[in-house]
């Protein structure tokens, strides 16, 4: 958080409140049990003003996350879409990272969350490149994590729930402690799952592979979805399948996708160079199309951008 963030407003249950007034009690359910659902959404500066990427789809995912945990957000998807646009205007931002978060608040401390109020906040942050400015071109060094993603029927990976990120924290901390930028977690069966906050793609012999949306313990990312659509548009074959770990070591290219990470090349895995050890041509083409779309240099034929004004 920076000083600009701290002067901004946060939307809370229908009102815009000051940053420092968006507080919860330490005995709130969410603090103890991770009972919250959130989104990370990017609003980009474009030649036609700020535009939010995949806004409605992010809000739909927020509602899905809540639904998986028997929580009802007392607004419509359209209302929250409008709130996200409104907060960018209220905070006078040209670009922003938007963070809607619905959480279980203060009432009882039993594990049952249903008696606790369910509050919705939408905040904005002034955020740069997640894995560093250089990473988009140079790529990042990553490792395979010793931590797995959750086994199916333990924690639902389709829900972007706060509690899930305790697993992400283990993956991220281990990677950083060993000197890598990020870790790739395997699923409970030993197949590749995802990074701590990114989906993963592998290019080998001209084909693009990515773990399955509903069978690899991943959060099916919206950037993942865009990378798949862009790749198909560029005439690449995209295969969604279970992928063994060693494919990472013989890949021609590997890249991450995520709202925060955008499309970031991976240049080494476990100290083994990926391809020639820098961003590969397929990654570059997909990345270029992605950023050209945001810069309005190519037509947004998918309707992914939602202009704030
Ligand atoms: N997996 C995890 C665990 C994440 O936290 C994220 C970031 N939301 C992603 C994948 C990528 O999702 P998206 O492209 O929708 O940001």
User: What domains does the chain contain, in order, with CATH numbers?
Assistant: 3-125 (3.30.470.10), 135-294 (3.20.10.10)
pTM more than 0.95 = yes
Query: Binning pLDDT at 50, 70 and 90, where does residue 222 land?
Result: very high
CA–CA gap between residue 302 and residue 52 (Å, rounded) = 14
Please list every protein residue whose CB sits less than 6 Å from any atom of ligand 1.
Answer: 40, 168, 194, 197-199, 219, 221-224, 257-259
- Distances from the Cα of 153 to the Cα of 3, 17, 70, 158, 291, angstroms: 42, 38, 16, 11, 37
Q: Which two tokens stand for residue 36?
A: 């919250």
Cα of 107 vs centre of ligand 1, distance in Å, is 31
| pLDDT of the residue at 134 | 87
Average pLDDT over residues 255-280: 96
CA–CA gap between residue 229 and residue 143 (Å, rounded) = 27
Query: Binning pLDDT at 50, 70 and 90, where does residue 131 land?
Result: low
CA–CA gap between residue 68 and residue 136 (Å, rounded) = 34
Average pLDDT over residues 138-148: 97
Mutate to test the pocket of ligand 1, among 34, 52, 199, 227 (most ligand atoms within 8 A of CB): 199
CA–CA gap between residue 93 and residue 20 (Å, rounded) = 19
Q: Which two tokens stand for residue 209?
A: 């592979």
Q: What angle do CA 275, 270, 129 make, to 5 degrees?
A: 75
| pLDDT of the residue at 255 | 98
Query: Binning pLDDT at 50, 70 and 90, where does residue 167 land?
Result: very high
Beta carbons of 240 and 112 less than 8 angstroms apart? no
Beta carbons of 305 and 52 less than 8 angstroms apart? yes
| pLDDT of the residue at 129 | 67
CA atoms within 13 A on the CB side of 143: 17
Q: Give kind and range of the element (H or E) at residue 28.
A: none
Beta carbons of 238 and 232 less than 8 angstroms apart? yes
């Amino acid at each position: 958080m920076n000083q600009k963030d701290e002067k901004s407003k946060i939307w809370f249950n229908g009102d815009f409140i000051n940053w420092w007034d968006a507080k919860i009690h330490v005995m709130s359910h969410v603090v103890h049990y991770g009972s919250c659902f959130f989104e990370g959404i990017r609003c980009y500066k474009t030649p036609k003003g700020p535009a939010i990427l995949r806004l409605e789809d992010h809000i739909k995912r927020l509602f899905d996350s809540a639904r998986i945990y028997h929580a009802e957000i007392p607004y419509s998807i359209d209302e929250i879409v409008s709130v996200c646009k409104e907060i960018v205007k209220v905070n006078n931002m040209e670009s922003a990272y938007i963070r809607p978060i619905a959480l279980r608040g203060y009432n009882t401390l039993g594990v049952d969350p249903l008696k606790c109020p369910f509050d919705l906040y939408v905040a904005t942050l002034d955020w740069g490149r997640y894995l560093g400015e250089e990473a988009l071109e140079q790529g990042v060094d990553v490792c395979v994590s010793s931590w797995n993603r959750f086994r199916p029927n333990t924690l639902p990976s389709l829900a972007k729930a706060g509690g899930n990120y305790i697993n992400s924290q283990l993956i991220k901390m281990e990677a950083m402690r060993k000197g890598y930028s990020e870790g790739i977690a395997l699923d409970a069966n030993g197949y590749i799952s995802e990074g701590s906050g990114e989906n993963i793609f592998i290019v080998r012999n001209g084909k693009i592979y990515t773990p399955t949306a509903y069978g690899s313990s991943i959060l099916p990312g919206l950037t993942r979805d865009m990378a798949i659509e862009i790749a198909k548009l560029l005439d690449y074959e995209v295969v969604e399948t279970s992928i063994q770990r060693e494919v990472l070591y013989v890949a021609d290219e590997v890249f991450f996708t995520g709202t925060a990470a955008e499309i970031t090349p991976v240049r080494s895995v476990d100290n083994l160079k990926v391809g020639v050890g820098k961003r590969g041509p397929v990654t570059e083409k997909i990345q270029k199309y992605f950023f050209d779309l945001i810069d309005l240099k190519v037509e947004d034929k998918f309707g992914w951008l939602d202009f704030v004004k």
